[in-house]
Amino acid sequence: MSHVAGRSTLHSDMLKQQSMGMSVPQFHLCRNQNKTSLAVLSLLYYNNSPRMCIRTSNESSNDCHRLQESLLSSASGYRNYRGVLNWCVVMLVLSNARLFLENLLKYGILVDPIQVVSLFIKDPYNMPAACLVIVSNVFIVAALYTERRLSVGCFSERVGLLVHSINLSVTLCFPVTIVLMLKSITPVGGASALGVYTVLFLKLYSYKDVNKWCREMSHAKARSLARSLSCSSIPRSRESGQDYQVSYPGNVTLRDLYYFVFAPTLCYELNFPRSPRIRMSFLLRRLFEMLFFTQLLVGLTQQWMIPIIQSSMKPLEDMDLPMMMERLLRLAVPNHLLWLIFFYWFFHSSLNFIAELLQFGDREFYRDWWNSETITYFWQNWNIPVHKWCLRHFYKPLLKSGVSKWLGQSAVFLASAFFHEYLVSVPLKMLRPWAFMGMMAQLPLAWFVARFLRGNYGNAAVWLSLIIGQPIAVLMYVHDYYVLHYREGSAGGGPE
């Protein structure tokens, strides 16, 4: 009788819960069920009832707790921090807005677009920097003439190498002589002209090398070189916009060389990848960006950078270390912001504008350098045209000649340090080693970061070197330039 009473009690409880809208487990009771099975059945039922706090696998309950980690714990696996990134952007905008307002209240409006012209020319009827750029055509024609003589056999390889070497040497030395001799050329104008000549030197060097490789292939077909892709005679499909394929020596023409001179690359090829058409909307967007960011660079320099630099001269002269550090940190933010804007203006807007205009297909001017976890990765990815040139025409030939990788990398940094100093010291007309030393310091820094720092720590070290390293060089050059031209000039009766 006891088991019958238990069955009736269990059945009544199930009916009561079902009438209240609760989920009730379905059990099928057999007549011949014994007391043991009834006890087990009752236990299963009451375990599934809301009156119990025991969690089961069959439960679809409203329990509010489970085994889990906090979101900010590394074990949680949570990776979506988009809101935190937005917060950082908002805080960055607000903090810089305060600095901008403070700057306006302290100095007023210093932006003067007309003043920019005086940075390039002192006299509108005397523009030596522009004339210097025009004269560079002489070296282009000289390189073309040399290659034509080599292609028809009038020059031997030795004579051709000698003529090219003289032409390349004069390409680097001639503008230096003019900039140092002419007082009418401004530092900005001189730097612009030297930048054009530096790019031209790298292009003509590549032009010389590739044509030499093509002559070697024509004389020795059996030689299999990886660099032979530069002289490939396999036709490209029309999908890339290439209707025909040029082969050596059909490439040795004035039109071909000048296309390469204006193309946004430093590495010559007989057949560049070409885009099928010019996209006017893309071209106009890049043009608008170029104009906008040019004005932004000028405005931020005049309004933000120059007052900080001017206020930094006295602490530098007095060797007041705490004040020097404070000025350095104040200069770091606007300097870095200007560097980022310049990167976008040059490597994205300007080079894409030129590439679209010339239908140049290879638009890889930079890679994800902002994710760099080593100094080496940064230098390999932030300036792809220069990196490709160094790899193709400098680093790999050194390795092929038997130089070790470490010495090859050191030689690349040495060449880069030379050109950095070339582009800074000559226009300022003062020989200071700060740019050279800054580039050579990248070698031990690259070793240290690669050896001891990994992941986010390495990326932070790269960013820190960019944010702090550049303002140090800027302050050193500005201080020396100020002492040389203004303090001495004031002692003699006025600035130069």
The residue count of the chain comes to 496
**Whole-number pLDDT of residue 139:** 96
CB neighbours of 3 closer than 8 A, spacing ≥ 6? 33, 34, 35, 38
**Whole-number pLDDT of residue 201:** 97
pLDDT tens for the 496 residues of the chain, in order: 444 445 455 455 555 555 555 544 444 444 444 444 444 444 444 444 444 444 444 445 677 888 888 888 888 888 888 888 899 989 988 888 888 888 888 888 888 877 777 666 666 667 888 899 999 999 999 999 999 999 888 888 999 999 999 999 999 999 999 999 988 888 888 999 999 999 999 999 999 999 999 988 887 764 454 455 555 544 444 444 445 788 888 899 999 999 999 999 999 999 999 999 999 999 999 999 999 999 899 888 888 888 888 887 777 777 778 888 888 888 888 888 899 999 999 999 999 999 999 999 999 999 999 999 999 999 999 999 999 999 999 999 999 998 899 999 999 999 999 999 999 999 988 888 888 888 888 899 999 998 898 888 999 999 999 988 888 888 888 877 777 766 654 444 433 3
Q: Quick one: which of 197, 227, 228, 200 has its CA closest to 143?
A: 200
Q: Is 154 exposed, middle or buried (0-12, 13-18, 19+ CB in 10 A)?
A: exposed
**Whole-number pLDDT of residue 328:** 82
Cα–Cα dist 352/118, whole Å:
28
Amino acid present at 69:
E
Q: Quick one: which of 388, 368, 386, 393 has its CA closest to 378?
A: 368
Task: Give CA separation, 294 vs 146, 297, 303, 311, in Å.
Answer: 39, 5, 14, 25
Cα–Cα dist 108/122, whole Å:
26
- SS3 for the chain is CHHHHHHHHHHHHHHHHHHCCCCCCCCCCCCCCCHHHHHHHHHHHHHCCCCCCCCCCCCCCCCCCCCCCCCCCHHHCCCCCHHHHHHHHHHHHHHHHHHHHHHHHHHCCCCCCCHHHHHHECECCECHHHHHHHHCHHHHHHHHHHHHHHHCCCCCHHHHHHHHHHHHHHHHHHHHHHHHHCCCECHHHHHHHHHHHHHHHHHHHHHHHHHHHHHHHHHCCCCCCHHHHHHCCCCCCHHHCCCCCCCCCCCCCHHHHHHHHHCCCCCCCCCCCECCCCCHHHHHHHHHHHHHHHHHHHHHHHHHHHHHHHHCHHHHHHCCHHHHHHHHHHHHHHHHHHHHHHHHHHHHHHHHHHHHHHCECCCCCCCCHHHCCCHHHHHHHCCHHHHHHHHHHHHHHHHHCCCCHHHHHHHHHHHHHHHHHHHHHHHHCCCCCHHHHHHHCHHHHHHHHHHHCCHHHHHHHHHHHHHHHHHHHHHHHHHHHHHHHHHHHHHCCCCC
Dihedral sign, Cα of residue 179, residue 183, residue 188, residue 189:
negative
Q: What are phi and psi of 269, to 5 degrees?
A: -140, 155
Catalytic residues: 420
Cα–Cα dist 57/6, whole Å:
26
With a threshold of 0.85, does the pTM exceed it?
no
**Whole-number pLDDT of residue 11:** 52
Cis preceding linkage at 249, omega within 30: yes
Tokens representing 355 are 């590439």
Task: Give CA separation, 459 vs 343, 453, 456, in Å.
Answer: 18, 9, 5
Cα–Cα dist 493/496, whole Å:
9
Q: Quick one: which of 324, 307, 301 has its CA closest to 106?
A: 307
**Whole-number pLDDT of residue 203:** 96
CB neighbours of 481 closer than 8 A, spacing ≥ 6? 187, 428, 430
Q: Tokens 């003067």 appear where?
A: 112
